[in-house]
Amino acid sequence: MKKNVLLLILLLAGCATDELDNIEGVSENYPVAYITVTASVDEIVETRGLPVNAASQMDDFGLFCSYSGSALWDYTSDFPGKMYNLMMSRNTQTGLWDYFDTSVPWNNVTAADNYTFFAYAPYATATNGITVTSSANTAGIPALRYTVPAVVQDQPDLMLAVIKENIHPTGHPVALRMRHALTAIGFMVYGYGTVTGISVTGVHVDGDLQMDGGNIVWDITPGSVTTLDFTASISGNSFTVDSETPLNPLADDGYLMMIPQTLTDEAKVHITVNGVTKALELHLATPQWQPGKKVIYSINLSPGI
């Protein structure tokens, strides 16, 4: 998923609350004995189109499964040996979810057997900043690390599934509910002037996370604040406003997908207006970025900004 960038005085924060209907999953041609899944996505409210708001907008995801037999799943000892980071890809012809490689069967189909599922999306690549950090033999919830890509267009809308614990093989698809793990950052601008540059610096861009969409808690290394600028793409490379009606100056995507965190006075937006660049502190408007929310900063370009 791609996004762009940000900001100034807080205008709006929207919470992810609406769950969309399940989308039918894995190929209809697979026998009942194979594990099948469906997916739904909690919506980031009032987005302008880029964060994923439906499973039909997803291309792939990573799937994990821990099989504990007749015993209930044990966080301290059970590990995802049944499935480890298997890629599930959307069939563009049918809109269903297929195994990228070989389909996986249930061990047994008795009601006494227990399977626990974890998932994240999109699937980790060399460019989207997502890395799975736990192994197939690591007990407990699988873990990943996210490093915000410097190229804004490569920033994904990272999502985690709510854990499906102790599922029995009923023959029906396993329904996965995906929730947004990042904060979508955008902005609107109004007043009078020409904007030729917007970027953000001084925020944490590395974090670790367990794949538990029901309890999204980021582990951020203290002191890991970046000095790298995250620069937004502006429509036509410059954007002129001459109205008190707020407008979005960003090209195409329009959001940064950032790690939820408490902002410090190092977190700044740099905006170039009429050839002059100013640095403005973000924590004065929003002290904290929260997962599954969209924050829009409003910039007033009136004289004396």
Write out pLDDT tens, residues 164-180: 999 988 667 888 899 99
Report residue 281: phi and psi, to 5°: -80, 130
Tokens of 79: 């590990």
Q: What is the mean pLDDT of residues 229-255?
A: 77
**pTM of the predicted model as reported, rounded to 2 decimal places:** 0.82
Q: What is the mean pLDDT of residues 75-103?
A: 88
Q: Is the distance from CB of 230 to CB of 7 less than 8 angstroms? A: no
Residues 6+ apart with CB under 8 A from 236: 251
pLDDT tier at 20, thresholds 50, 70, 90? very low
For residue 101, is pLDDT > 90? Answer: no
Rounded Cα gap, residues 42 and 13, in angstroms: 16
Q: Which sequence spans correspond to the domains of the chain?
A: 17-181, 184-301
Please, what's the largest Cα pairwise distance for the chain? 72
pLDDT tier at 239, thresholds 50, 70, 90? confident
Helix, strand, coil distribution of the chain in percent, nearest 5: 5, 45, 50
* CATH fold match for the domains 17-181 and 184-301: yes
CATH code reported for the domain at 184-301:
2.60.40.2630
Torsion sign (Cα): 198, 269, 153, 187: negative
Beta bridge partners of 220: none
Q: Is the distance from CB of 65 to CB of 83 less than 8 angstroms? A: yes
Say which range, 1-15, 47-61, 267-281, has the weakest mean pLDDT: 1-15
CATH code reported for the domain at 17-181:
2.60.40
Q: How many CB atoms lie within 10 A of CB 14?
A: 16
